[in-house]
Amino acid sequence: MADLHLNTNAISRKVADLPGPPGLPLLGNLFQMAPAKLHLTLERWARQYGSPFRVQLGTIPITVWTQPDLFQTVMRERPNLYRRFSPIESAMTELGGNGLFSAEGAAWEPQRRLIMRALSFSNIKAFYPSLSSITERFLVRLQSAAKENRTLEMTDELKRYTVDVTSTLAFGEDPHTLEQERGVIQEQLALILPALMRRVTALFPYWHYVSLPEDRRLARAMVEVHRYIKKMIERAHDRMQQSADPSPHNLLEAMLVARNEPDSTVTDELISANVLTLLVAGEDTTANAIAWALMYIAADSPLQYQLFEQSSAALGESRVCPDYDALKHLDLCEAVCSEALRLRPVAAIQTFEPLADVCLGGVAIPAGTRMLLLTRPGMLDPKHFAHPEVFNPDRWKHPRGPSDGAHEQKAYLTFGAGPRVCPGRYLAGVEMRLVISMLMKHFRIELAIDPEEIEEISAFTMVPNRMPVKLHPVT
């Protein structure tokens, strides 16, 4: 612990000693840190100033780090010594969504236990028939678009799929957004993460005093979202009352049971917050990960053929992967997504604050100092990955020996690390294998624009601004 708790003998610098970009009096670097391009701005400054460096959000100092080993250190010490940015928790509380993602301290652990059980390996395996059925419906939707020669905005299509999957697994009901064109819950959910990005990076909570058009749109969306969640909870309660089996069958039912236990800390507000958290997280991250993968697949005809061969062999006569055990034959499908996430990490920025004075990497960090950890620089470092600039899914398929060059798994920061590693990573892996194999067996993928026209946008997660795709049926 010598490099964690404050140890004056280990300190070589203070936050004020760190280099960083010049800013304006009182405002600091505020106008240089546009929220939509924040990760790109910080990565550029990291190349210029090294790591760690310092930026100023008004008069608030923020330290920015790129070293994967220090990221691992911080993640291992959560939630006892570090927490997420406190503005995230307050912003999510205002939106009625302070669930597992943003909860801290004593409120975090009981939520974690419930959600980890719901997203466990055994539960996902038992859920596979429903997951396969939703993938079949997705295929029908895509075949219809291909027959009509329509260009699809693939990120939006994938979000329909992931919302149906998340809702069915975690809440016991399928919203069938794959069969709808308008009025789906994603239209409201899509406003939440960009709003969270704006509010977390704001100099002060202006929305408490002035309501801009985007704040009014968000307020209307949140009314719809919470109405949707309330009805979902009511339906789950009614199903449980009518069922002869008192045991919970999904996460929502487990939370309702936990709420009724003696001395329970699970409240209606907490249940609603976690439903919202899972809807947003389950929709956004996996959909964008697969979308980024499709960009690379579309640009590589030999890779498409490899994926077609592997998918055809694993699926046989089935339209989608026939059973859970057959997923193990689809390593390349997940490897493509893993490699896409190395180059285009959906979680490009991780936010932390120490709960006590600490010394990290020789820098004295006072309690409450905001810290940003950038995940991509470490994954593009040749010390960690051989030829890091090259899109090479094969690096994920086989164990690496010394002759294969660097492949440092601990530098792969896509799903976090430590006690708060992403609880949905197993489900994400299954969805990646299912969707990529389904697409590759049935279609040749063509990107409808030059890949150079696709921009990275910081919307709390890092997302493509567009991903227009044409699907050509394989004959």
DSSP string, 52-120: SEEEEETTEEEEEE--HHHHHHHHHTTTTTEES-HHHHHHHHHTT--STTT--GGGHHHHHHHHHHHTS
Give per-residue pLDDT as tens, 192-215: 888 888 888 888 899 999 999 999
Tokens 């920025």, located at residue: 349
Give per-residue pLDDT as tens, 23-40: 999 999 999 999 999 999
Q: In this predicted structure, what is the pLDDT of residue 6? A: 45
Do residues 344 and 451 make contact, with C-beta atoms less than 8 angstroms apart?
Answer: no
Q: In this predicted structure, what is the pLDDT of residue 146? A: 96
Q: Where are the domains of the chain?
A: 13-473
Q: Is the peptide bond before 79 cis (omega within 30 degrees of 0)?
A: yes
More confident residue, 419 or 333: 333
Q: Which CATH number does 13-473 carry?
A: 1.10.630.10
Torsion of CA 442, 448, 450, 455, to 10 degrees: -90
- Which tokens belong to 375? 């995940």
Q: Which of 12-16, 133-137, 400-404 has the highest mean pLDDT?
A: 133-137
For 308, residues 6+ apart whose C-beta sits below 8 A from its C-beta are 440, 441, 474
HEC per residue, 413-456? CCCCCHHHCCCCHHHHHHHHHHHHHHHHHHEEEEECCCHHHCCE
Please state the rounded mean pLDDT for residues 309-324: 96
Phi and psi based region of residue 141 (left: phi greater than 0; alpha: psi -120 to 50; beta: remaining): alpha
pTM for the full model? 0.89
- The Cα–Cα gap between 280 and 226 comes to 13
Q: What percent of the chain clears pLDDT 90, i.e. is strictly above it?
A: 59
Give per-residue pLDDT as tens, 74-119: 988 988 899 888 888 888 888 887 776 767 777 777 777 777 777 7
SS3 state at 362: coil
Asked if the model's pLDDT at residue 387 lies above 80, the reply is yes
Lowest-confidence region among 2-11, 304-313, 338-347:
2-11
- The Cα–Cα gap between 118 and 427 comes to 10
Tokens 């249940």, located at residue: 271
- The Cα–Cα gap between 415 and 179 comes to 31
Do residues 171 and 252 make contact, with C-beta atoms less than 8 angstroms apart?
Answer: yes
- The Cα–Cα gap between 337 and 393 comes to 8
